[in-house]
Structure 1
Amino acid sequence: MKLLEGKTVLVTGASTGIGRAAAIGAAQHGADVVINYHSRDEDAQSCIAAIEAAGGRGLAVKGDVADAATATDFVARAVDAFGGVDVMISNAGICPFHAFLDMPTETVERTFRVNLHGAYYMVQAAARQMVAQGRGGAIVAVSSISALVGGEFQTHYTPTKAGVHSLMQSTAIALGKHGIRCNSVLPGTILTEINKEDLADDGKRRYMEARTPLGRLGQPEDMVGPIVFLASDMAAYVTGAALLVDGGMYVNLQ
């Protein structure tokens, strides 16, 4: 069953990691997919090739989500290419690990601009287009287990992910009357470019695996099913929800 047949899906931060997996997964479920990416040209084109190999049409649009103009351009390019916007997957994010007491101001500000401000601008631009179209839509934001728990070297990151989760709750209320559903997914430790260096430490990686009841860390592909579900009509009565996708890590307090 192709859950996104005939829909146009937009994905931010899709040249690698969760965004890339979600974009390809959307194409496998019948969607045309427009991806945003910041700088990795070859990876973006590889993602488009995979989208097309899955049977979808694809378009890559380069831009920095921290700039509000990127969001309006991204949505406009999607409309020009494929006629509208049905789903926005707001995924772009960074996490430059750093201690709290000497955290550089520019690191804090950049993380907030990309993770939270970028999500806000992208969700707003997509919602405006969906309202204008008059046929509803779905927005899925990639938050994090870090919205619920702290991290010693993530004091700049965890507030942004809590903010993304809160943004989905508030936009679910603001946009429900337009038939637009807004939900978030909260990944646990997923092996991506964000944590590649941090988890290069074998001891830390084994510790994180041991904390996970399913016994392994996540792969980007583990996020595809939950994201596609929330984006699809199977979740027609689901809005304002947050879905943990963490292998059970959050509940493992023992």
Structure 2
Amino acid sequence: MKLLEGKTVLVTGASAGIGRAAAIGAARHGADVVINFSRDEAGAASAVAEIEALGQRGLSVKGDVSDPATARDFIAQAVDAFGKVDAFVNNAGICPFHAFLDMPVETFERTMRVNLHGAYFMVQAAANQMVKQGHGGAIVAVSSISALVGGEYQTHYTPTKAGLHSLMQSTAIALGKYGIRCNSVLPGTILTDINKDDLADMDKRERMAARIPLGRLGQPDDLEGPIVFLASDLAKYVTGASLLVDGGAFVNLQ
């Protein structure tokens, strides 16, 4: 059963990691997919190739999500190519680990601009297109377990993920009358480029895995199913919700 048959799905930050897994998962479930990326030309090209190998149409659009104009351009190019936007996945994000007391202003502001401001304008642009189309839609934000717990070297990052979680709750209310559902996924520790340096220490990696009831750190494709579900009509009465995808880490804090 293909859960996204005939739909057009857009994913930001999809040249690697969770975004790439979500994009390819959407194609596996019958969607045409448009991906946003900022720098990794080769990664974006190979993601589109995988989408097309699954028999779906794929398109990559380069752009820095911290610039509000990127959101308008991304949506416009997707509509020009495939005619509509049925589901939008906001995934693009950064986490340059740094201590709190000497956090550089630019590091803080760049993280805010990419993770939170970028998400706001991307979601707004996608929602406007969905309202214009008149047949509803689904928006899924990739938040984080960091929306719920702190991190010593993530004082600039965790507020952005809490903000994404909150944004989905508020947009669920604002957009419900248009048939647009807004939900978030909250991944735990997923092995992606965003944390590869932090997890290069194998002892630390093993300690973190040992705290997870399912006994391992996450992989990007662990998010594929939850995101596809929330984007699909199987979740037609789910909005304003958040889904932890963390192997049980959050409930094992004692």
Q: Given the two structures, how large is their TM-score scaled by the length of structure 1?
A: 1.00
Write out aligned runs for 1:90-101 (5 A).
90-101=90-101
**Structure 1 residue 253 displacement after superposition:** 1.7
Name the counterpart of 1:45. 45
Q: Distance in 1 between matches of 2:189 and 2:138?
A: 25
Name the counterpart of 1:173. 173
Q: Distance in 2 between matches of 1:229 and 1:253?
A: 27
SS of equivalent residue, structure 2 residue 34: strand
Name the counterpart of 1:83. 83
Note the residue ranges of structure 2 that are not aligned, 5 or more in a row. none
Identity over aligned pairs, percent: 80
Name the counterpart of 2:117. 117
Q: Distance in 2 between matches of 1:162 and 1:253?
A: 19
**Structure 1 residue 190 displacement after superposition:** 0.3
Name the counterpart of 1:161. 161
Is residue 212 of structure 2 the alignment partner of residue 194 of structure 1? no
Provide the alpha-carbon RMSD of the alignment. 0.4
Name the counterpart of 1:15. 15
SS of equivalent residue, structure 2 residue 5: coil
Which deviations, in whole Å up to 9, do the C-alpha atoms of 1:199-227 show, x marking residues without a partner?
Answer: 00111101110110000000000000000
**Structure 1 residue 75 displacement after superposition:** 0.2
SS of equivalent residue, structure 1 residue 200: coil
Q: Distance in 1 between matches of 2:141 and 2:72?
A: 17
Q: Distance in 1 between matches of 2:239 and 2:72?
A: 24
Q: Distance in 2 between matches of 1:135 and 1:119?
A: 22
Amino acid across the alignment from 2:97: F
SS of equivalent residue, structure 1 residue 170: helix
Q: Distance in 1 between matches of 2:83 and 2:136?
A: 15
SS of equivalent residue, structure 2 residue 118: helix
Q: Distance in 2 between matches of 1:211 and 1:118?
A: 33
Q: Distance in 1 between matches of 2:171 and 2:119?
A: 12
Name the counterpart of 2:203. 203
Amino acid across the alignment from 1:23: A
Q: Distance in 2 between matches of 1:36 and 1:207?
A: 34
**Structure 1 residue 17 displacement after superposition:** 0.1
Name the counterpart of 1:222. 222
SS of equivalent residue, structure 1 residue 226: helix
**Structure 1 residue 38 displacement after superposition:** 0.3
Q: Given the two structures, how large is their TM-score scaled by the length of structure 2?
A: 1.00
SS of equivalent residue, structure 1 residue 251: helix
Name the counterpart of 2:143. 143
SS of equivalent residue, structure 2 residue 77: helix
Equivalent residue pairs, number = 254
Name the counterpart of 1:31. 31
Which deviations, in whole Å up to 9, do the C-alpha atoms of 1:141-193 show, x marking residues without a partner?
Answer: 00000000000000000000000000000000000000000000000000000
Name the counterpart of 2:70. 70
Q: Distance in 1 between matches of 2:209 and 2:221?
A: 17
Note the residue ranges of structure 1 that are not aligned, 5 or more in a row. none
**Structure 1 residue 55 displacement after superposition:** 1.4
Q: Distance in 2 between matches of 1:253 and 1:74?
A: 40
